[in-house]
């Protein structure tokens, strides 16, 4: 799936390397398997274009100006979570390991095995697609939660904490029947078909840290 912010109809890979012949070779290889590319001779030019226009980055570790590690760090500092594949030459593996520890997706050594490179890029794109889908789903969940009335939000929190309807009623000063009405209405708005799903949603929203202990009485309704 292509980045919705990208002007390209195909997934787009940024190739950032000061070696023109290598940039052209990588662009040809990636485009031969149906991917779009954008090539950059240095990290500064790449960063200036705004990385949100691509879906993954092939980033040389050694370049004039900013190194690949510095470019990757700047992406992270700006909150850009693109999958980054570090390209390394002989003797650069320790730098690549450092990049992995900093959150890079993978590293690949020059000279490349073409199929290995394609496979690594496809894995990075699949990861990016899953992450964007998860972010979209979380944003939609947050929007539904924010549309709830304050008491409905409060009831979801207490349900996720493992409180019974009777305990919630006593805690917020309403009747047990009112708690049930609010809970059912909240579940409908949140798109939760059962209490377990409602609790999982509360965890995703970070209303609670983890699933309540089964002994806490969540199932006692």
Write out pLDDT tens, residues 161-203.
Answer: 889 888 998 998 888 899 999 999 999 999 999 888 999 899 8
Q: Give the C-alpha separation, 65 to 77, whole Å.
A: 18
Averaged pLDDT, 104-110: 88
pLDDT score recorded for residue 215: 47
Confidence of residue 44 (pLDDT cuts 50, 70, 90): very high
Report whether 157 contacts 202 (CB < 8 A).
Answer: yes
Ranges of each domain in the chain:
12-135, 147-216
Q: How far is CA 32 from CA 9, 26, 97, 199, in A?
A: 15, 10, 29, 46
pLDDT score recorded for residue 21: 94
Averaged pLDDT, 103-107: 88
CATH of region 147-216: 1.10.10.10
Superfamily of domain 12-135: Response regulator (3.40.50.2300)
Report whether 71 contacts 16 (CB < 8 A).
Answer: yes
Averaged pLDDT, 63-87: 89
Residue 213: pLDDT over 90: no
């Amino acid at each position: 799936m292509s980045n919705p912010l990208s002007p390209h109809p195909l997934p787009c890979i940024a190739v950032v390397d000061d070696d023109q012949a290598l940039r052209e070779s990588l662009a040809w290889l990636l485009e031969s398997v149906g991917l779009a590319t954008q090539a950059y001779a240095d990290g500064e030019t790449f960063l200036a274009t705004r990385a949100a226009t691509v879906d993954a980055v092939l980033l040389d570790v050694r370049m004039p100006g900013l190194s690949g590690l510095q470019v990757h760090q700047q992406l992270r500092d700006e909150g850009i979570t693109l999958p980054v594949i570090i390209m390394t030459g002989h003797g650069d593996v320790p730098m690549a390991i450092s990049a992995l520890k900093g959150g890079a997706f993978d590293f690949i050594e020059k000279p490349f095995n073409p199929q290995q490179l394609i496979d690594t890029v496809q894995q990075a794109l699949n990861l990016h697609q899953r992450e964007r889908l998860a972010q979209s789903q979380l944003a939609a969940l947050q929007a539904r939660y924010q549309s709830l009335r304050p008491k409905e939000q409060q009831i979801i929190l207490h349900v996720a904490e493992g409180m019974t309807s009777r305990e919630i009623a006593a805690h917020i000063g309403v009747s047990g029947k009112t708690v049930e009405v609010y809970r059912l209405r909240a579940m409908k708005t949140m798109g939760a078909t059962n209490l377990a799903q409602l609790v999982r949603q509360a965890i995703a929203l970070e209303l609670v840290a983890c699933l309540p202990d089964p002994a806490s009485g969540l199932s006692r309704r």
